[in-house]
Amino acid sequence: MIHPRYMPLVLKQLVRQRARTVLTALGVAVAMFLFVTVEALQRGVAAATELTGREVTLVVYRQNRFCPFSSRMPDSYAPRIARIPGVAAVVPMKIVVNNCSASFDTVTFRGVPREKAESITDGFTVVSGSLADWQRRSDAALVGETLALRRGVQTGQTLAAAGVTVYVAAIIRSEDPQDQNVAYVDLPFLQRAATRGGDGIVTQFNVLVDDPARLERVADAIDAEFARDAEPTTTRPEKAFVARAAHDLVQIVGFTEYLGLAALAAVLALVGNAIVLSVQDRVREHAVLQTLGFRSGLIARLIISEGVALCCAGGVLGVAAAVALLHFSRFSLSVEGVNLNVRADPAAAVLGLAVAAGVGVLAGLVPAFQASRREIAASFRAV
């Protein structure tokens, strides 16, 4: 925008009014903190709910049931599902949660048969502990890294919630948002330990399909298979299942987009006002610069650069605070046994900084145009 040799002049103008500059930068920081947090929340929801066309996992749930407490099906459904053309694997699963409503501190237990565990653990990275320890103990659990950090548990300790106490055999990391905030345990153990359910009863079936193009066809075939049974089913792609379960949360998160836009509008008004006041204080100085050979376009670029520098300073502060909060707090919104993770997304941070710089340019346009159009004689006569 301007040659680097002019940057000391830009910075000098900013530090002349220290109080105004600091307060404006702090205002920008607060607004960008809100913007980046909202953006990270929206990206977390998108990652958990938006279909990409490459999904190969279906969730079979009890028809007209929503909370895991109310979805009850016999695990004998598994062989019948496995015989349906297009089904590559079936994993019966029991879900137990300590809170079925929306919460920031939900503990989700997932009971899976150990002989089927390979299809679940294939994408896991063991952070600490070992899968062998999980295989040896009936009460052992594989705990998601986010849940372990939030609850402050380590391998070798116990985790208790919803009337279930498990031994933490390993802490795992996964790219799947639904694996980051759960504890995987042996299905028979969870069926016995849970206050509701019992042997032979599961909450859902996770079905692996051999071809993403057959996903909807297999889902319809599964529901048709159990349409006349005592426990009919509803089958959806996993992300569609998450989107339905977290429908209200998704709508609320969608509304937060307006908060992000409001934050940008506040930044624009705040920085624009600060630059206008600064320019009004320096009318005669600009006339002197023009007399010394500074062209009108250069003066305009200097003023715009002030806005960019001011916004970038506040933007860096606000983005850094948002990233630090999201990284160390490990926020996770849970509802009906599904999880929406809020991560410190680097892309959201880069977007926040780019938006801050862009707002700085916009905020400086009007005062820069006014200053560049002012005649030298009129500037010297200004009081």
The residue-averaged pLDDT of 109-114 equals: 90
- Residues 310, 24: Cα–Cα separation, whole Å: 8
Question: What is the predicted pLDDT for the residue at 382?
Answer: 52
Question: What is the predicted pLDDT for the residue at 222?
Answer: 95
The residue-averaged pLDDT of 141-165 equals: 89
Question: What is the predicted pLDDT for the residue at 287?
Answer: 58
Dump pLDDT digits (tens) for 313-366.
889 999 999 999 888 777 777 777 777 777 777 888 898 899 888 888 888 887
The lowest-confidence range among 81-85, 131-135, 286-290 is 286-290
Mean per-residue pLDDT of the chain: 81
- Burial, 92: exposed, middle or buried (Cβ in 10 Å; 0-12, 13-18, 19+)? buried
% of the chain residues with pLDDT over 70:
84
Could you tell me the CA-to-CA distances from 303 to 13, 289, 334 in Å, in that order?
A: 9, 13, 47
Kindly report the backbone phi and psi dihedral angles of residue 215, in degrees, each rounded to the nearest multiple of 5, phi listed first.
Answer: -60, -55
The residue-averaged pLDDT of 77-82 equals: 94
The residue-averaged pLDDT of 293-300 equals: 70
Residue 371 reports pLDDT greater than 70: no
The residue-averaged pLDDT of 198-224 equals: 89
* 311 or 376, greater pLDDT: 311
Domain ranges in the chain are 4-49+248-381, 64-231
Residue 191 reports pLDDT greater than 60: yes
Question: What is the predicted pLDDT for the residue at 2?
Answer: 66
- Residues 303, 282: Cα–Cα separation, whole Å: 11
* Beta bridge pairs of residue 158: 167
Dump pLDDT digits (tens) for 225-273.
999 999 999 999 887 877 776 666 677 777 778 888 888 888 888 888 7
* 291 or 237, greater pLDDT: 237
Dump pLDDT digits (tens) for 17-40.
778 888 888 888 988 898 888 888
* 55 or 237, greater pLDDT: 237
Question: What is the predicted pLDDT for the residue at 99?
Answer: 76
Question: What is the predicted pLDDT for the residue at 372?
Answer: 65
* 167 or 56, greater pLDDT: 167
* 374 or 66, greater pLDDT: 66
The residue-averaged pLDDT of 278-302 equals: 66
- Residues 13, 285: Cα–Cα separation, whole Å: 11
- Burial, 321: exposed, middle or buried (Cβ in 10 Å; 0-12, 13-18, 19+)? middle
Question: What is the predicted pLDDT for the residue at 195?
Answer: 59
C-alpha closest to that of 74 among 208, 233, 224? 233
Per-residue confidence band for 383, with pLDDT thresholds at 50, 70 and 90: very low
Residue 113 reports pLDDT greater than 80: yes
